[in-house]
């Protein structure tokens, strides 16, 4: 059975706003900046443990923080990033590759 997961782009939102979204039933949050996401993750750690998605461009020097704190990475644009993520979190990888101009229904 196919499932649809709604990911709320929480960039720029406070932990308090995310707490309200959690209470309303949103469980997955997408962040573009590691340094902004980590305090929100800490603030919501005692809550119903949201699933965190990294949805921004990822710099090589931030792969460890992403590997350790995010369940999903949505935009890997370089082989080196993929290699570093695989080294830093080897037991959890799920990759879908789409060519430029291709989309999935």
Q: How would residue 99 be classed by pLDDT, with cut points 50, 70 and 90?
A: low
Q: In the 8-state DSSP scheme, what is residue 41?
A: H
Torsion of CA 81, 93, 73, 17, to 10 degrees: -140
Among 10, 76, 64, 3, which residue's Cα sits nearest to residue 37? 10
The stretch 88-105 carries a mean pLDDT of 64
Higher pLDDT, 101 or 32: 32
- Read off the pLDDT of residues 27-68 as tens digits, 9 standing for 90 and up: 999 999 999 999 999 999 887 789 999 998 999 999 999 999
Please enumerate in sequence order all residues whose Cβ is within 8 A of that of 64, keeping only pairs 6 or more positions apart, or say none: 84, 88
Q: Give DSSP secondary structure letters for 51-87.
A: EEEE-S---GGGHHHHHHH-SEE----SHHHHHHHHH
Walk across the sheet containing 7-9 and list its strands. Answer: 7-9, 28-31, 51-54, 72-73
- Read off the pLDDT of residues 76-90 as tens digits, 9 standing for 90 and up: 888 899 889 989 987
pLDDT of residue 102: 60
Other CB atoms within 10 Å distance of the CB of residue 100: 4
Query: Can you give the residue ranges of every domain in the chain?
Result: 1-53
Higher pLDDT, 10 or 3: 10
pLDDT of residue 100: 64
């Amino acid at each position: 059975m196919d499932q649809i997961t709604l990911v709320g782009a929480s960039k720029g939102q406070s932990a308090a706003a995310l707490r309200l979204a959690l209470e309303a039933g949103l469980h997955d949050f997408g962040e573009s900046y590691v340094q902004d996401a980590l305090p929100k993750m800490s603030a919501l750690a005692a809550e119903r443990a949201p699933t965190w998605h990294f949805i921004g461009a990822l710099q090589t020097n931030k792969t460890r923080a992403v590997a350790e704190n995010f369940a999903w990475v949505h935009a890997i644009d370089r082989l080196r990033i993929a290699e570093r993520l695989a080294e830093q979190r080897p037991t959890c990888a799920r990759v879908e590759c789409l060519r430029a101009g291709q989309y999935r229904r």
